[in-house]
Chain A
Amino acid sequence: MLFNSFTYLVFLPIVVALYWVIPARFRTWLLLVASYLFYMNWIPVYGLLIIFLTLVNYGLGLIIAKANKNRKLILTIGLCFNIGALCFFKYASFLAENAWLAVYNGSQFLHSVIPAAPISQWQNPVVNILLPLGISFFTFEFIHYIVDVYKGSSPIYNLKNFALFAAFFPSQIAGPIKRYQDFMNQLGHPLTLKQADFGGGVFLILQGLYKKIVLGDNLGTIVNYGFTHANQLGRLDAWIAVVGFTFQIFFDFSGYTDIGRGSAMLFGYKVPENFNLPFLAANLTEFWHRWHMSLSTWLRDYLFFPLGGSRVPPWRVRFNLMITMVLGGLWHGAAWHYMLWGAFHGLGLVISKDWHDFVSKFSNLSKWRLSKLWHWCGVGYTLLFLFIAGLFFRAETLQDVWVLFSTMLPLFSLNGRSHELVQMFLVSTVPISIIAYCLFLIAKEALQKISISEIPVANAVLELWQNSAPVRLVAYISIGLLILGFAPNKMSPFIYFQF
C-alpha cells in the first residue's frame, strides 16, 4: 500500500480511530493485523515471508539470549539466514546474470585465443523473483536485533510485540530502520491520544505529502524526461535533470519518512528522524550524519565498527570506509551503478577525511576552517559532489552517465540543442512550490527563534489554533487541497520502495 494512495487515505483514519476506541490491551493486536494487511495489500503471499522471517528471528533471539555456548555460531547462522534471504530475493537475478556474463565472455575470450576452445552454451538465466517490499529494511532490523541480543541486550520475549516491531506499518516499507530498544519502550504508551501527538502527526503527514507529491513527483516528471532523452539535452537541461534528481530523491524519501513518522505519531509512537537538512552539510562526512541517518548509523554500527572502524591503521580505515559504502550502495539495488555510486561516496569520504587531517596539520588553515566562507564553500563542493554521485544513482548505464556528464561541462559542444527541459521546468509548478517550501522553512526557523508571546498577532493566532478545532480542521483541509491541486495526474511510487 502506498502512503500517497487513496487506499491509505481511507486505511489510516480507520485504523487510528479503531486504535483509540478499543481497549488498550487489544491495541498491539490491532496494529499488528493492520500492518500485515498493509503489507499484504500488494502481494498477499509475501505476508508469509515476513511472518516466517519474524518467527525465525524471534527464535534466534531467544536461543542466543539463553545459550551459554556456541552463541557466536548461532549468531553466524542467524546472520547467514537473514543475509541469505535478502540475497535470494534481491540479488539472485543480478548474481545469476553476472555469472552467466562472466562465463560467456570468458569462453568468448578463450575461443579468440584458442580457437579449439568451445564457446559457452549456457543460456542467460532468467530469474523472475519479485522483490518483496521493504525486505532490505526489515532484514537490517532483524540483523540489528540478533546482534544486539548477542552483545547482551535483553531479547523480546513476547512474540506479538516482536512481530509488531518487525511489521509496524509506518516504517515497514522504507524505514527508518528502527532500534528495537527504542520501539519496545513505547509499546502501549500513551493510553490516550494527546492533542500534540495528533496535531504533530497530521502536520508531518501533510508535510510529507507536500514533499512527495508537490515537489518530488513534479520534479520527477522533469527529471525522468531528462534522463530518458539524455542525448537531446542542452547544457542547462542536463544540469536541471541532474540537480533535479538530487532534490527529487530527497523530497521523495524525506516525504515518505515524514508520512511514516506522522502516521506513527497518530498511534503515539515516535519513529527516528532520517533527515536533518542534508544539503546544508559542509562536507561529505557531515552529509552522512544528516542523510538517511537510520541507514548510516546502521552501517556504522553493524559494518564499519565490526570491520575495525577508525581504530585501525590509516589504510584500513580507508578500506573500511570503501567497503562500507560499496556495500551500502549495493544495499540500494542489485545493479552495478548502485555499487559505483557507493564506491564514489566511499572515495569522497576518504578524500574528505584526508583533507580534514591535512587541514588540521596547518594552524592557518585550521583558523580559516571556522570562517563562514570556508563553510559555504564546503556546502557548495558537497552539493556538487552529490549531483555527480546522483548521476551514478539515477542513470541506468555508464554511457548515460557519460552523456549527461559531458553535456554538463562547458568543454563539450552541444550543436545548438534546444532547452526543452528548461522550458518544462519554468512552466511547471516546481519553481513556485520550491519558493513556498523555502518560505515555510524560513518561517519555521524564525518562529523557533522568536518568542511568540512578544507578537500580539502571532499570539492571537496561536491561541486560536490551540483552542479551536474547526480552525485546525480548515487549515488541514486547505493544505490537503493545495497538495491535491499540485498533484500530477498519476501518483508515482516512492523511489525507495524498490530498495
Chain B
Amino acid sequence: MITSTITYSTDTVDSKKGSKSAGFAKYALQSVVFLFLCIVLLEGYLKLAGVGGQEFLRPSIKMGCEHIPGKRVIWRLEGYSHDRLSKVGLRDSEHSITKEAGTYRIALLGDSAVESLQVDLNQTFGKVLESLLNTKQRATVRQFEVVNFGCSSYSTGQEVLQYESEIDKYQPDAVVLLYNRGDSLENVIHDKDRKHAEIRPYFYLDQNGQLHQDNSVLNNNMDKLKPQPIKDFLREHSAIHGVLTQADLSLTINEPRYRKIKSWIEALVNLPKRFDPKNQSTLTAIYPDQNDMAVTKALIERLANNIAQKNRTFILMIFPNIVHYDVLLQQAKQLKTLADNKHFRCLDLSSSFLADKDPNSNFIQYHFSKKGHEVVASQLMQVINERVMLKN
C-alpha cells in the first residue's frame, strides 16, 4: 500500500516536472520565434522607411576607415540623399580605372564636404562641374570626367595617402583637394590625446623637417581594424545595426552624461589592456608635440610634388569662411603663400560665398547645400578652364 502510494506520488512529481520543463521549453521556443519575428519585422520596416542606412564606413588597416563598396546609403543626418556607393567605394557613379582617350579626368579629394551626402549625387559640385564643363568646354576637350574620392572624416594626411595608393592609377589630369577647417588638427596627434584618438594614420616632422607617418594609433587598435565577419556583415546589411551605431554617435555628440558613462564602461573593458606591456609601448610618444599647420603644409607639398612629377594640375581649394573665423583666415594665408611658392593654384571659396546676399543658404549645417554646390562648381570651372587653356 505504502509502496504504491510512494510510486504514485513519484509519478506525479515526475509528470509535473515534465510538464513544467515542457512548458518552459514551449515558452522559450515561443520567445525565440517572437524575437526572430521582431528582428525581421523591424529590419523590414526600417528598410522600407529608409532608416538605419547611414552607416557607410568600415575599418581599414591602412587608412583607419574607408567607404563600404556598393553600400546603399540613405542620409538623413542633415539634408537628404539616397544613393549607392560605387563598386570600389566612391561616393560617385561607376568609373573605370583606365581613362578613355581624349578624356580630361579631374579627381576630387577631401572629407565629407567633398563626399556630399547631404545632397543627391547629381547635385554635388563634382557632378555639376562635370555637366558644366561638358556643355561649355566641348570645343577644347572631347570629354570631362570628374571622380569624387571624398570620404567623411579624412584628414589631409589620409587624402595624400589615398592619392598615392588609389588615385594615381586613375591617371587624373587635375587633382582638386578641398581643405576644410579642422583638417590640420586631424593630421597630428598630441601625446595627451593618444588614448582616445581617432583611428587613423598621423604625421610628424623630424628635427630635419622630414615628414614621417605615425601608425601607432592604427597599430594599437589593430584588433578593431581586422575583419570581423559577423560585425562586418551587420554593418553592411543590418538596419538595426545602423540605428544603434547612429544613436551611439548622436548621443556621444549631444549627451555629455552618455559620454561619461560610455567612457567609464570603456575604461572598465580596457582595464586589462592598461596592464599589458605591449600596449604601453605603442602609446608612448617618439617625437615632441607638433605644429599642425607645419605638418599640413608638408603634406600638401608632398602631394603637390607627386602631382607635378606626373605633369598634372593641382588645385588646392579652401572651404569658405563666411564667419571670418580667425584660425581659418590665418591658415588660408599660409596655404596661399605655400601655393605661390610651389606654383600650384589655390582657390579660396570665401569671397564667392560672401558675395551671396544670404551666404548661409549655401550651407546645410557644416556642409554645402544644393546652392552651395553650384557656387563651388562654377568657381572650380573657371579655374579648370584656365588650366585647360594653358595646356592647350
Please report which residues of chain B, range 271-293, place their CB below 8 angstroms from some CB of chain A when the two chains form the complex.
none
Q: Mark B25-43, 1 if CB is under 8 A from A, else 0.
A: 0010011001100100110
Cβ contact within 8 Å between B34 and A471: yes
Query: Cβ of A429 < 8 Å from any Cβ of B?
Result: yes
Cβ contact within 8 Å between A6 and B251: yes
Cβ contact within 8 Å between B239 and A485: yes
Size bracket of the A interface:
20 to 34
Binds A, one of B48-56, B100-108, B109-117, B151-159: B48-56
Distance in Å from the Cβ of B383 to the closest Cβ of chain A?
A: 30
**Residues on A with beta carbons closer than 8 Å to the beta carbon of B76:** 428-429
Distance in Å from the Cβ of A254 to the closest Cβ of chain B?
A: 22
Given the contacts A429-B50, A474-B35, A474-B38, A10 and B30 also touching, CB distance less than 8 Å: no
Closest Cβ neighbor of B35 among chain A residues: A474
Tell me which of A432, A468, A475, A484 contacts B49 (CB under 8 A). Answer: A432
Query: Cβ of A427 < 8 Å from any Cβ of B?
Result: yes
Distance in Å from the Cβ of A125 to the closest Cβ of chain B?
A: 31
Cβ contact within 8 Å between B247 and A427: no
Cβ contact within 8 Å between B254 and A485: no
**Residues on A with beta carbons closer than 8 Å to the beta carbon of B354:** none
**Residues on A with beta carbons closer than 8 Å to the beta carbon of B255:** 5-7
Cβ contact within 8 Å between A7 and B50: no
**Residues on A with beta carbons closer than 8 Å to the beta carbon of B78:** 489
Distance in Å from the Cβ of A468 to the closest Cβ of chain B?
A: 5
Query: Cβ of A482 < 8 Å from any Cβ of B?
Result: yes
Closest Cβ neighbor of B78 among chain A residues: A489
Closest Cβ neighbor of B254 among chain A residues: A490
Chain B binding surface SS class: helix
Cβ contact within 8 Å between A485 and B48: no
Cβ contact within 8 Å between A484 and B243: yes
- Give complex CA distance A293, B165 in Å: 66
Given the contacts A6-B255, A478-B38, A485 and B27 also touching, CB distance less than 8 Å: no
- Give complex CA distance A129, B248 in Å: 36
- Give complex CA distance A7, B31 in Å: 31
Cβ contact within 8 Å between A481 and B240: yes
Cβ contact within 8 Å between B77 and A489: yes
Tell me which of B30, B48, B49, B243 contacts A481 (CB under 8 A). Answer: B243
- Give complex CA distance A485, B240 in Å: 8
- Give complex CA distance A474, B51 in Å: 20
Query: Cβ of A470 < 8 Å from any Cβ of B?
Result: yes
**Residues on A with beta carbons closer than 8 Å to the beta carbon of B8:** none
Cβ contact within 8 Å between A432 and B35: no
Distance in Å from the Cβ of B3 to the closest Cβ of chain A?
A: 38
Tell me which of A424, A428, A485 contacts B52 (CB under 8 A). Answer: A485
Distance in Å from the Cβ of B358 to the closest Cβ of chain A?
A: 10
Given the contacts A468-B30, A484-B247, A6 and B258 also touching, CB distance less than 8 Å: yes
**Residues on B with beta carbons closer than 8 Å to the beta carbon of A478:** 38, 41-42
Query: Cβ of A491 < 8 Å from any Cβ of B?
Result: yes
Cβ contact within 8 Å between B239 and A464: no
Cβ contact within 8 Å between B77 and A474: no
Closest Cβ neighbor of A436 among chain B residues: B45
Tell me which of A10, A428, A432, A491 contacts B254 (CB under 8 A). Answer: A491
Cβ contact within 8 Å between B31 and A471: yes
Query: Cβ of A433 < 8 Å from any Cβ of B?
Result: yes
Query: Cβ of B324 < 8 Å from any Cβ of A?
Result: no
Query: Cβ of A317 < 8 Å from any Cβ of B?
Result: no
- Give complex CA distance A7, B251 in Å: 11
Please report which residues of chain B, range 217-247, place their CB below 8 angstroms from some CB of chain A when the two chains form the complex.
239-240, 242-244, 246-247
Closest Cβ neighbor of A432 among chain B residues: B49
Distance in Å from the Cβ of A170 to the closest Cβ of chain B?
A: 20
Please report which residues of chain A, range 1-33, place their CB below 8 angstroms from some CB of chain B when the two chains form the complex.
5-7, 10
A433, A467, A468 — most chain B CB neighbours (10 Å)? A468
**Residues on B with beta carbons closer than 8 Å to the beta carbon of A429:** 49-51, 76
Distance in Å from the Cβ of B39 to the closest Cβ of chain A?
A: 8
Cβ contact within 8 Å between B27 and A468: yes
Cβ contact within 8 Å between A6 and B52: no
Query: Cβ of A40 < 8 Å from any Cβ of B?
Result: no
Query: Cβ of A487 < 8 Å from any Cβ of B?
Result: yes
Query: Cβ of B46 < 8 Å from any Cβ of A?
Result: yes
Closest Cβ neighbor of A475 among chain B residues: B38
Cβ contact within 8 Å between B46 and A485: yes
**Residues on A with beta carbons closer than 8 Å to the beta carbon of B239:** 485
Query: Cβ of A89 < 8 Å from any Cβ of B?
Result: no
- Give complex CA distance A280, B92 in Å: 48
Cβ contact within 8 Å between A6 and B257: yes
**Residues on A with beta carbons closer than 8 Å to the beta carbon of B41:** 478
**Residues on A with beta carbons closer than 8 Å to the beta carbon of B242:** 485
Please report which residues of chain B, range 243-268, place their CB below 8 angstroms from some CB of chain A when the two chains form the complex.
243-244, 246-247, 250-251, 254-255, 257-258, 261
**Residues on A with beta carbons closer than 8 Å to the beta carbon of B82:** 427
Distance in Å from the Cβ of A256 to the closest Cβ of chain B?
A: 19
**Residues on A with beta carbons closer than 8 Å to the beta carbon of B261:** 10
Cβ contact within 8 Å between A427 and B80: yes
Distance in Å from the Cβ of A215 to the closest Cβ of chain B?
A: 13
Query: Cβ of A381 < 8 Å from any Cβ of B?
Result: no
- Give complex CA distance A432, B48 in Å: 9
- Give complex CA distance A470, B36 in Å: 13
Q: Closest 6 interchain pairs by CB?
A: A485-B243, A6-B255, A470-B31, A478-B38, A485-B51, A432-B49
A-B contacts, 23 listed (Cβ < 8 Å): A6-B258, A7-B255, A424-B80, A432-B48, A432-B49, A436-B45, A464-B30, A464-B34, A468-B27, A468-B34, A471-B31, A471-B34, A474-B31, A474-B35, A474-B38, A478-B38, A482-B46, A485-B46, A485-B243, A489-B78, A489-B250, A489-B254, A490-B250
